[in-house]
Amino acid sequence: MNAFDEGPVGIRPMVRADVDALAGWERHSDPRYRMYDVGPLGAGEGDSLWRALSEPAGVREPFVAEIGGRVVAQLVLRDIRKDDRSAELGIMVDPALIGRGLGRRILRAFAGYRAENGYRRLTLEVAADNERAIRAYQAAGFVTRGERRGPAYPGATTGRILRMETDLAAPPFTDSHSCQPPSTSSP
């Protein structure tokens, strides 16, 4: 146990400077997760990553999770549907910190943060063989609603992909969670 296992999780909108923190993360030792490696980033690659995470504005919105001032995860909302108050979620935890319960804590904090901002539903798609992610999602309250076949990411072989979602109107997201208000310097 250390500060990352015990410290409160803060959620805030991501800013361009956070890309540099992500670029300093170590790479995944498990080859199955290599597509989630971020750095090192060459000239211009940081800007490309930032655009991929944040554009088009209003449809895609990036966030970070912090513990003790250190960026420990990156989250993105895609396909934001204001009419439906829903969006599709993506998440990457710092590879140095995965598999120790942080993912589920961050997902819970993020769900609470979004519920507080009027969201009703978060959806996601996950490769059926990404057991670690599925267990973390389930522990954070996501349930499987269906599945399809396809590549889990560009270039991947075709496989089973689960559709999962969480209802933010249901407890515990409507009350107990640990998060910070959005930064005023957010994009």
Ligand X SMILES: CC(C)(COP(=O)(O)OP(=O)(O)OC[C@H]1O[C@@H](n2cnc3c(N)ncnc32)[C@H](O)[C@@H]1OP(=O)(O)O)[C@@H](O)C(=O)NCCC(=O)NCCS
> Which chain residues interact with ligand X by CB under 6 A?
33, 36, 91-93, 98-104, 124, 126, 130-133, 135-136, 139
Which C-beta is closer to ligand X: that of 62 or that of 103? 103
- Least Cβ distance, residue 119 to ligand X (angstroms): 18
DSSP sequence for the chain: --HHHHSPPEEEE--TTHHHHHHTSPPPSSGGGGGG------TTHHHHHHHHHH-SBTTBEEEEEEETTEEEEEEEEEEEETTTTEEEEEEEE-GGGTTSSHHHHHHHHHHHHHHHTT--EEEEEEETT-HHHHHHHHHTT-EEEEEEEEESSTTPPEEEEEEEEEETTSTTTTS-----PPPTT--
- Least Cβ distance, residue 95 to ligand X (angstroms): 7
- Least Cβ distance, residue 177 to ligand X (angstroms): 15
Which C-beta is closer to ligand X: that of 46 or that of 95? 95
Which C-beta is closer to ligand X: that of 107 or that of 115? 107
Which C-beta is closer to ligand X: that of 2 or that of 184? 2
Which C-beta is closer to ligand X: that of 59 or that of 96? 96
- Least Cβ distance, residue 43 to ligand X (angstroms): 26
Listed residue (65, 59, 19, 64) closest to 42, CA to CA: 19
Give the residue at shortest CB distance from ligand X: 103
Whether residue 62 contacts residue 54, with contact meaning beta carbons closer than 8 Å, is answered with: yes
- Least Cβ distance, residue 175 to ligand X (angstroms): 21
